[in-house]
Structure 1
Amino acid sequence: MAKELLTPGYIFEASWEVCNKVGGIYTVLSTRAKTLQDIYKDKVFFIGPDVWVGKENPLFIENENLCAAWREHALKNDGLKVRVGRWNIPGNPIVILIDFYPFFSKKNEIYGKMWEDFQVDSLHAYGDYDEASMFSYAAGKTVESFYRFNLTENDKVIYQAHEWMTGMGALYLQKAVPEIATIFTTHATSIGRSIAGNNKPLYDYLFAYNGDQMARELNMEAKHSIEKQTAHHVDCFTTVSEITNNECKELLEKPADVILMNGFEDDFVPQGRTFTAKRKKARATLLNLANKLLGVNLGDDTLILGTSGRYEFKNKGINVYLEALNRLTRDKNLKKEVLAFINVPGWVGDPREDLVERLKSNENYTTPLECPFITHWLHNMSHDQVLDMMKYLGMANSASDKVKVIFVPCYLDGKDGIINMEYYDLVLGHDLSVYPSYYEPWGYTPLESVAFHVPTITTDLAGFGLWVNSLKGSYSELKDGVKVIHRSDYNYSEVADVIKDNISVFSGMSDTEIKVIRKRAADIAEKALWKHFIKYYYEAYDVALRNAQKRLLLGEN
């Protein structure tokens, strides 16, 4: 018989990305909020940094009536400056934004106490460590204040901290309010990401790396220390995929208690006629852009490819994508013209005026603009990795090349000055997406792609890729909607060939075959909705609450 899970009465979730769009964690929190709100209506509180002080934050709707008595008490008695309101996302959960700057004056005292209680070594802190830690500590103090003012020991309370940046708050609560059950979620180990980003082989040598030693070598001691100590001390330690769990075991010396896979909501995917109309518009926009930039006329049967995400050239596999595209130009089996996009925000300057001028015109151009592979000027044109590699490979986007590559180095927020369409409105215009990641704890971008019925190519070094393989019980192929390539520390060239071959095969498929693949891609996305993945969170709540009870009993004895 299945055991009955303990369920919380209140949930507090702290993250640097609450009402603050930075990366994938924002997607995790904001898409899951509605599912939690449906079950724990207004008993879920998201806690974020008030980095918008004095500026309008479109994601936060302040409501001075919410928790007004506690807010006044927190300011007067605990010196906490907080704003309370709603997160402007589906579900509209309650949000507490904290002004953490006053805590900087007590920084050394806080770090000293963390060392004393939990051996957190903040001695070599630099960069964003101080800012994140002061926010994290302030978040812990805020939850303590809320708990003492509004709740009792009979209330089952969960505090979930995301990433090393919120570890200190979880540790603070563990000591100050032991009745609160703590969960720590690492979405990527700071040291694993650093090893991969520093061009060291991560996977073949994972068993041989010592996390503490690597932290010293890569100047990551403070971040690694808070992450490791939090993982060891909380009531429930979690991560987002099996592949990241391997890192946790080796580098943090602690396996996860529960794996919380990243789901999402598909409410942003248009349906029926709207989908068809939007796809048509996106394709027309992309083909028109190619004409204005490259001076070529590409037909509607052009194969449009794309990759996107953070500008981590090696970790996200942007380098191997370019390598594959370069090899594709010489592939005899390629049946269609290929227009490939790299939608990755770089150190962007201004939209190109010459391109803006052309885009205003209805004329069909037959001559390319100067530098015909980028839509916006960069501040570092001569030291950009994408442009450098294209130059090195001799990719010129000349009219006779069967494969043409366009780099869009900005956030597609609808206001970039060139495309002026949001990312989700553009991605459905692609025929195929490529995400050949080397380091990718989960991988929202390929998941979003299949949600828009766009088949994708990814690797088994991405949590998403591994999960897709687990659905099938073997390596997933392009005909299944997602092609998962085996990737290791050393098979870069082989991966580039597999990508090239799959694009080539796809270019020769009939409309009927493609329709089936698009349907299978969407079916995979459906299996990753939060309604299926939320159960892992319930499991984590249960583990945390049971371990907190044990902790309290031990403390009393």
Structure 2
Amino acid sequence: MIQPDYIFECSWEVCNKVGGIYTVLSTKARTLQQQFPDHILFIGPDLGHAGQAAEFDEDTTLYADWRRTTAAAGLPVRIGRWRVPGAPLVMLVDYRQLFSHKNELFYEMWESFGVDSSQAYGDYDESCIFAAATGRVIESFYRFHHLESQRVVAHFDEWMLGFGLLHLRKYTPRIATLFTTHATTIGRSIAGNNKPLYGYMSGYNGDGMAAELHVEAKHSVEKKAAHFADCFTTVSEITAVECRQLLDKAPDVVTPNGFEPDFVPTPDRYPARRADARQRLLRAASALYGQTFDSDDTFLVSISGRYEYRNKGIDVFIDAMNRLRTSADLPRAVVAFVLIPAWVYAPRADLKATLEHGAPTTAPLPTPFLTHWLHRMDDDRVSNFILHAGFNTTDGERLKIVFVPCYLDGRDGIFDTPYYDLLIGMDATLYPSYYEPWGYTPLESVAFGIPTVTTDLAGFGRWAQTVVSGRDITEGVAVVHRTDDNYAAVVNESAGALLSLMRCSDAERSTIAAHCQSLAARAEWERFITYYYTAFNHALTAAARRADA
């Protein structure tokens, strides 16, 4: 296969932890850096103006002459190394000066490619301006370093980077372009608006639904990027079906998301890290509820990810916890954690003071399920459903729920611990997704040796069923069948899987943890990176064919 000499990987989530794409890129980096040392360059937004510290170490000696030319052209670029395994080169682009040219940029995309930005709102403008800046930065680097004779690939992730791909297609057509949609705009919107996605898929028209759901601009740039890319990819077969129907374009290659074992503590450090995580989690739960939880006997379970209430199955999680709470034969005390970032106002001062003083509490705090106060809490769906479901603070309740509505980046004000350093303390995770093109959270869970429950509407769940049956949590992953209308069955099966896990002996749990890690090893990047090599080959071949035409 033809392989590139240079790769530019472009995303809003380079050095900017927002969602699953960050995990894709940050874990893939080491493998690509080993294969293409310092010829894989990640490009992300420079958000220093917004007070956000970048996760990279700047090196002003790198490409100094070229950076001076980009700065003179109104596109300042900082270069350094990303603080992830592999330490790849990163370019952070300050795109703000292009805002004054927004109308010209949008008109050019309409005139040249038919991208309709007329109904744009929300994050569309900033995303597309950054993407346009990214395209110009790559073009500048390409011309300044005379790479015309080199095999160059530019890879753009999600609709937010579509303008960058289209810019290169117009001005530097010798650069081979890849476009990956990790979730289609229309598919996510249909699911998020409580419409049935799967049973009616063949009846949906992407353009028509974009107008109905008021996402015309995002859909337009996503669709054009998919059609004009030299190689169009998505992350799972279930999303490939979506692309064919809603974007009128089947992916050229499916590139499933891998993971790196670097993020998992070594066996000699694992027990101590797990014990520390459990202590932190249980201390917070004890302070909130005014009771002591036995670390050895309490079962910890969690859900995490983006705040997409239905899509991520947050509603199912809370309902499943309620089913367990009211179960007559719950064998252990349970603390269920909802680790979902919401609109945080501030860490709770009363909780923080209790944790800092270390004094045992004998009475629950007000609103004991919440670790941080929220803006407009009365409108928060998670909080309202927890209250509606009937969770209370009586000592007789063996299951408590804790909503942690913040990014666990080590600076949240309560745990001050990164997500992975808390995940390791769980006994199980539950991700009963309705819409999940891949599903990093269950993959991360099994990589840490923690059994998980997911669904066959998640790309990871579908993939896991090619390795194990998915019918029994003892395999490391239980894959629950989910459709548009079997919500109650999903709740019951999810609760049942967790209940069976609680009854396992220590020896059985050790065996299950080994099964988890064995499954995760099948999804490491050293295996899955080959799909990207196929995509690079496809893009380079298409670009060469176009150049020779």
Fold in common (TM above 0.5)? yes
SS at match of 1:64: coil
- Cα offsets for 1:62-82 (capped at 9, x unmatched): 222211222223344x44322
Of residues 206, 221, 228, the one that matches 1:226 is 221
CA distance in 2, matches of 1:273, 1:457: 27
What residue is the counterpart of 1:6 in the other structure? 2
Q: Where does residue 263 of structure 1 map in the other structure?
A: 258
Structure 1 contact 228–252 (Cα < 8 Å) conserved: yes
1:273 aligned counterpart, secondary structure? coil
For 1:378, the equivalent position in structure 2 comes to 374
Q: Secondary structure at the match of 1:84?
A: strand
Q: Is 1:391 aligned to 2:387, yes or no?
A: yes
Residue in 2 that maps onto 1:61: 57
CA contact (8 A) 1:333 1:504 kept: no
Tell me what 2:268 maps to: 273
Q: Is the 8 A contact 2:182 2:234 kept in 1?
A: yes
Determine which of 420, 425, 429 is the counterpart of 1:433: 429
Of 371-380 and 166-175, more deviation after overlay is shown by: 371-380
Q: Which amino acid aligns with 1:385?
A: R
The correspondence of residues 191-340 of structure 1 with structure 2, limited to 5 A, is: 191-299=186-294, 300-340=296-336
Give the letter for the 2:333 counterpart: E
Structure-1 residue corresponding to 2:365? 369
1:476 positional shift: 4.2
Tell me the C-alpha RMSD between the 2 structures. Answer: 1.6
Give distance in 2, aligned partners of 1:18 and 1:321: 30
Q: Which residue of the partner structure matches residue 493 of structure 1?
A: 488
Determine helix, strand or coil for the equivalent of 2:493. Answer: helix
TM-score by length of 2: 0.97
Q: Is the 8 A contact 1:397 1:405 kept in 2?
A: no
Q: Does 1:360 align with 2:356?
A: yes
Alignment counterpart, residue 48 of structure 1, candidates 44, 48, 61: 44
Partner of 2:464: 468
Tell me the equivalent position of 1:129. Answer: 124
Shift of 1:153: 2.7
Q: Hey, what does 1:451 align to over in structure 2?
A: 447
Within 1, Cα distance between the matches of 2:399 and 2:437? Answer: 31
* Closer/same/farther in 2, CA of residues 364 and 71 from structure 1, 3 Å limit: closer
SS in 1 for 2:542: helix
Instruction: Return closer, same or farther for 1:499/1:54 CA change in 2, 3 Å cut-off.
Output: closer
Residue 537 in 1 paired to residue 532 in 2? Answer: yes
Residue 479 in structure 1 maps to residue 474 in structure 2: yes
For the 8 Å contact 1:468–1:476, the answer to whether it is kept is: no
User: What is the rounded CA distance, in whole Å, between the counterparts of 2:534 and 2:257 in structure 1?
Assistant: 15
Indicate yes or no: 2:120 matched with 1:120: no
1:422–1:49 CA distance, 2 compared to 1 (3 A): closer
Gap change, CA 1:405 and 1:81, over 3 Å in 2: same
Amino acid at match of 1:191: I
Correspondent of 2:69 among 67, 73, 86: 73
**2:543 — aligned with what?**
548
Letter in 1 for 2:251: A
1:425 aligned counterpart, secondary structure: helix
- Superimposed CA distance per residue, residues 293-330 of structure 1 (whole angstroms, 9 cap, x where no aligned partner): 11223222111111111111111111111111111122
Per-residue CA deviations over 1:472-516 (Å, capped at 9, x if unaligned) read 3x4442010001101111111110000111111112111111111
Residues 230-274 of structure 1, C-alpha deviations (whole Å, 9 max, x = no match)? 101111000111111111011001111011111121212112232
Give the Cα separation in 2 of the matches to 1:246 and 1:285.
Answer: 42
- Tell me the amino acid that sits aligned with residue 192 of structure 1: G
Q: CA deviation at 1:216?
A: 0.5
2-structure distance, mates of 1:498, 1:443: 19
Q: Structure 1 CA distance, aligned partners of 2:148 and 2:284?
A: 61
Instruction: State the 1:135 CA deviation.
Output: 1.2
Paired position in structure 1 for 2:516 = 521
The equivalent of 2:497 in structure 1 is 502
> Structure 1 stretches of 5 or more lacking a match?
none
Alignment of 1:77-88 (within 5 A): 78-88=73-83
**2:35 is the alignment partner of 1:23:** no
Whole-angstrom distance in 2 between the partners of 1:304 and 1:54: 36
Q: 2:79 is paired with a residue of what secondary structure?
A: strand
CA drift of 1:387 comes to 1.6
The one-letter amino acid paired with 1:456 is T
Q: Tell me the amino acid that sits aligned with residue 380 of structure 1.
A: R
SS of 1:370's partner is coil
Whole-angstrom CA distance in 2 between matches of 1:413 and 1:74: 32
Counterpart of 2:246 in 1: which secondary structure?
A: helix
Measured after TM superposition, the shift of residue 455 of structure 1 is 0.4
Which residue type is aligned with residue 131 of structure 2? S
Q: Do the aligned partners of 2:451 and 2:512 also contact (CA within 8 Å) in 1?
A: yes
Task: Provide the C-alpha distance between the structure 2 equivalents of 1:54 and 1:381, rounded to a whole number of angstroms.
Answer: 26
- Could you tell me whether the CA contact under 8 Å between 2:337 and 2:402 is conserved in 1? yes
Mapped contact 1:181–1:545 kept (Cα < 8 A): yes
Moved more, 340-349 or 279-288: 279-288
1:151 is aligned, of 146, 149, 158, to 146
* Structure 1, 350-359 or 41-50: larger mean CA deviation: 350-359
Distance change in 2, residues 1:146/1:398 (3 Å): same
Distance 1:307 1:230 in 2: 33
What is the deviation of 1:361? 4.1
SS at match of 2:263: coil
Correspondence for 1:511 among 482, 506, 522: 506
**Compared CA separation, residues 63 and 421, structure 1 to 2 (3 A):** closer
Deviates further, 348-357 or 300-309: 348-357
Kept in 2, the 8 Å contact 1:331–1:504? The answer is: no
Q: Which position in structure 2 is the counterpart of 1:165? A: 160
Q: Which amino acid aligns with 1:329?
A: R
Contact 2:299 2:334 in 1 (8 A): yes
Does the aligned pair in 1 maintain the 2:347–2:373 contact within 8 Å? yes
Q: Which residue of 2 aligns with 1:139?
A: 134
Deviation at 1:56, TM superposition (A): 6.7
Aligned-pair CA distance for 1:353: 2.5
Amino acid in the other structure paired with 1:16? W
Aligned AA (1:52): G
Contact preservation (8 Å) 2:152, 2:176:
yes
Q: Is the 8 A contact 1:334 1:508 kept in 2?
A: no
Distance 1:169 1:291 in 2: 50
Bigger mean CA deviation after superposition, 307-316 or 295-304: 295-304
8 Å CA contact retained: 1:373, 1:397? no
Matched residue type, 1:436:
P
Q: How has the CA–CA distance of structure 1 residues 475 and 427 changed in structure 2, closer, same or farther, with 3 Å as cutoff?
A: closer
CA–CA distance in 1 between the matches of 2:322 and 2:50? 48
List alignment gaps of at least 5 residues for structure 2. none
1:55 Cα deviation after fit: 5.0
Aligned residues: 548
